Chain A
Amino acid sequence: MTANVPPPAANLGSTNTTVAVAFTPTSGPDNAHGDLPPMIVVKNATKRFGEKTIVENLSFEVKQGEIFGFIGPSGSGKTSTIRLLTGVYEPTEGEVRVMGAVPTHPSRRVQERFGYMPQLFVLYPNLTVRENLTFVAGLYGMNPFTRRGRVNELLKFVELWEARDRVAANVSGGMQRRIELAASLLHNPPLLFADEPTAGIDPVLRGKFWDEFRRLRDEGRTIFVTTQYVGESEYCDRVGVIRKGRIVALDTPLELRRQALGGDVVDFTSNDLTAAALLNLMSLDGVREVRPVSRTEARIYVEEAAQAIPVLLDALSANNCTVNRIEEYRPSFDEVFIELMKRDAAQRGETGEDDDDGPSS
């Protein structure tokens, strides 16, 4: 029924299990197809419960074959957005389309084509790992005669084969997350919604989850993933940053960094650094800001680091400054997000300290 895709090197499973896909595979990490219709289209979507606005005026598209990360602090509206996309919530205003369908009134055919990994373990603690997966396979109407093989494949794939006969209540939190992941992939969906899949699990397992998402992406699947771990942004192809129900930034991780810092940053040290030299740098094209860090160090904000560094070296040399070290500074995503949050708070006239939780690193 499907094409088998070879497993990636960094597979969650220790075995060489392959997971079949039932849609036209695209290839490579940069396979987000602009020419294909987007998997998800959200236009000015707002969700309110009574007077309380949960998410406001969301607009974005998710392309086929990309990992779209939705990042924000706790309570910012990530899960509500996923619920809008999966049809659990109906938007109060605006429009949501998933695979061309309105998720609140989906056809069964559409529902069979996306998987959902909820934020919490929502399966049955009294059933074994295998029984839980068999039940979910039944929910998707999978053929009882062939589903056993599929369940076994996924048990191996998420490294739960040894634990298949243990009741779910007796497995670790990380294992429960893997049961959820396996359950969401049982019916081989081209679109996966994963709501904070890495929340509360150890860094090693988090790394494996992301390896797996990228592998699924490489198979051509689209993954919409929410997280509050800011560092996970760099695993995504595109990232939407949400704060208090509104998207404050949406771009590739690299572009987000630029947005946050207003461009690239170049750091340099020179024992001959003078005020005149710094003033001279300010007048150069592409230089937006010059900040002295110490008597021998300075940070320059430029439009494009690669182009700016030769120009800066020339200018400093002209001012008799011998440069000991010059390099592009890549701030952590924590700094990027703090900057984005601060900027949004400033735009809204807030202090920025009233977020429920800052994003985690």
Chain B
Amino acid sequence: MGRLAKRFIRAAAFVGKEINEVRRQPRLILSLILGPFFILLLFGIGYQGESSTLSAVIVVPKTGNYSREAADYQAMVGDQLVIKGLTTDEADALGRLNRQEVDLVVIVPSDVAKQISAGSQVKVPILFNEVDPMRNNWVTYLTYIYINELNKRTVAAAAAQGQENAGDLRSALARMRKSLTAIEEHLQRGEVTEANQQVRSMQGSSSNVQLAVMLMGGLMASDDTLISPAEPQNPELVNLAEGQSVSARLGGNIKELSDELNEKNPDPGRTRERLASIRTDLDQLDKLTQQFQSINPLVLAAPFYSDVQNRAPVPANVTAFYAPGVLILLLQHIAITLAALSMVRERLLGTVELFRVSPVSPSEIMLGKYVSFTLLLGLIAAVLLGLMSNNIEIGGVPLSLGVPILGDWVPLVLTITLVIFASIGLGFLISAVSKSESQAVQLAMLVLLMSVFFGGFFLSLETLWEPVRALSFALPVTYGVFGLQATMLRGVWPADIYLLGLLGLGILFAALSFILFTRQFRRG
């Protein structure tokens, strides 16, 4: 038989041996395949993907016109914050916070109107007692949202007040229209002096109207915002700025009418012209005021809203997003543990001594183990993918996660195979530096822990300090997670860097473990 054939037979001996060893341990098969799947399933069923609700106590001032009903505050804050009660005793509320009976204490300021009138912002103290940085961020974010909401409602209330005041403006305009009719009647009767008196009365009203229109226009002004809209939300209805020029023109027309009437012989034609212009201006202003009143105060308070569209091929879903990562993490861990334990066991059993005196070489041993573990893990990956991606239900109980696989099978298989290849190499490397099974398991667990923290799927890699991020790229899981997410969730080939990275790591681990294993194998 040829040398090459014998090499193949020797390597194949390990394939058969490893597969038989696993086959002889049904519990191991159970824990290798069903264990990871149930972890995935529990994760999919159990993970809500929603932030927890917070409980709060509201401290209201002892005096003042404040609601004393928790329901009023609850209606304002929505579901994320549960109002546990109202109190006027700040110390009692803080005591509850210190005892962690509630998450937040919100202290309502006592002299809101006074502070706003004085031109200063009103501070709303919100206290919490949190050591969890994630919850700390969540509370901070939530309170920011609530204060924004509070500000918006305040502005909306002010706008509503402005709309109410616009009713006074319309009354003033009606009075002016009445005066205009009186002027016309006086002029028809030739009562110029009486008509002039009415014009002066109109001049006073015109000043007030100009002021009111200016205030309305200020509410609508968009120049102070960060983003100038390309066009207003409804230009027909909202363009109250035009009202300012109309009111200014009205003032001018009234003055010109007054000047005309003060002439010795007022020109009846010009006077009629002025009167007609004033009526037109009054009609325009009345129409604009009416339009202003019809606008939703919340639109005045928050004229912009975002229109967000997710262009990803699958809807963002916590289970679908994490499933590829968890699968890769499990495959990496099983591969590392199997490979590390296998080599350590050979040493502890004493079989290495048998190998040394037999014609088998370290490369044949490693090749045989690579092939057997790749086959075994490939089978596990196939079963897990099948269970993950189908919609299997028994009696209404979901037995799969329905994770989509949008991409081609080729990049999927390639990514998984490369992850397995690199992970087995890492396992061999661990075995080369481990003196016992427990040491190998400990190191495998450390790699698992590192993968969870630095693998980039629970914590974004961007959140890591760059030198530490280098560690992420020494782990097969990092490349595998991104590669598999791209294939499964986006339906595209993984970026070359992920596949080449895995290949590079695999070759590096294989070379290092081969050198160390050969040294140990031949050491006399």
A interface list, Cβ under 8 A from B:
83, 86-90, 104, 108, 111-112, 114, 116, 118, 120, 122-124, 126-127, 131, 134-144, 167, 193
Shortest Cβ distance from residue B39 to the other chain A in the assembled complex, whole angstroms: 26
Query: What B residues does A134 contact at CB under 8 A?
Result: 13, 16
CA A135 to CA B11, docked complex, whole Å: 10
Tell me whether A127 and B356 are in contact in the complex, defined as CB-CB below 8 angstroms, given that A135-B17, A141-B1 are known contacts.
no
Query: What B residues does A141 contact at CB under 8 A?
Result: 1, 5-7, 9-10, 359
Q: Decide yes or no whether B189 CB sits under 8 A from chain A.
A: no
Q: Which residue of B lies closest to A147 (CB)?
A: B9
Query: What B residues does A116 contact at CB under 8 A?
Result: 354, 357-358
Q: Which residue of A lies closest to B365 (CB)?
A: A139
Query: What B residues does A138 contact at CB under 8 A?
Result: 9-10, 12-14, 16-17
B interface list, Cβ under 8 A from A:
1, 3, 5-7, 9-10, 12-14, 16-17, 20-21, 24-25, 349-351, 353-360, 522, 524
Max count, chain A CB within 10 A of own CB: residue among B5, B351, B359: B359
Shortest Cβ distance from residue A100 to the other chain B in the assembled complex, whole angstroms: 17
Query: What A residues does B355 contact at CB under 8 A?
Result: 139
Q: Which residue of B lies closest to A107 (CB)?
A: B359
Total A-B Cβ pairs within 8 A: 92
- In the complex the two chains form, is B357's CB within 8 Å of A127's CB? no
CA A135 to CA B359, docked complex, whole Å: 13
Tell me whether A89 and B524 are in contact in the complex, defined as CB-CB below 8 angstroms, given that A122-B350, A131-B20, A139-B10 are known contacts.
yes
Contact of A139 among B24, B358, B524 (CB under 8 A): B358
CA A140 to CA B21, docked complex, whole Å: 20
Query: What A residues does B12 contact at CB under 8 A?
Result: 138, 144
- In the complex the two chains form, is A86's CB within 8 Å of B356's CB? yes
Max count, chain B CB within 10 A of own CB: residue among A86, A118, A135: A135
CA A120 to CA B13, docked complex, whole Å: 22
CA A190 to CA B358, docked complex, whole Å: 14
CA A123 to CA B14, docked complex, whole Å: 13
- In the complex the two chains form, is A142's CB within 8 Å of B524's CB? no
Query: What B residues does A193 contact at CB under 8 A?
Result: 357
- In the complex the two chains form, is A87's CB within 8 Å of B10's CB? no
Q: Which residue of B lies closest to A84 (CB)?
A: B524
- In the complex the two chains form, is B357's CB within 8 Å of A86's CB? yes
Tell me whether A118 and B353 are in contact in the complex, defined as CB-CB below 8 angstroms, given that A138-B12, A139-B10, A141-B10 are known contacts.
yes
Shortest Cβ distance from residue A130 to the other chain B in the assembled complex, whole angstroms: 10
Query: What A residues does B16 contact at CB under 8 A?
Result: 131, 134-135, 138
Query: What B residues does A137 contact at CB under 8 A?
Result: 13
Q: Which residue of A lies closest to B1 (CB)?
A: A143
Query: What B residues does A89 contact at CB under 8 A?
Result: 524
Tell me whether A90 and B524 are in contact in the complex, defined as CB-CB below 8 angstroms, given that A127-B24, A142-B9 are known contacts.
yes
CA A318 to CA B349, docked complex, whole Å: 70
Query: What A residues does B14 contact at CB under 8 A?
Result: 138
Tell me whether A122 and B353 are in contact in the complex, defined as CB-CB below 8 angstroms, given that A104-B524, A141-B9, A142-B9 are known contacts.
yes
CA A140 to CA B1, docked complex, whole Å: 12
**Closest CB pairs A-B (n = 3):** A138-B13, A141-B6, A90-B524
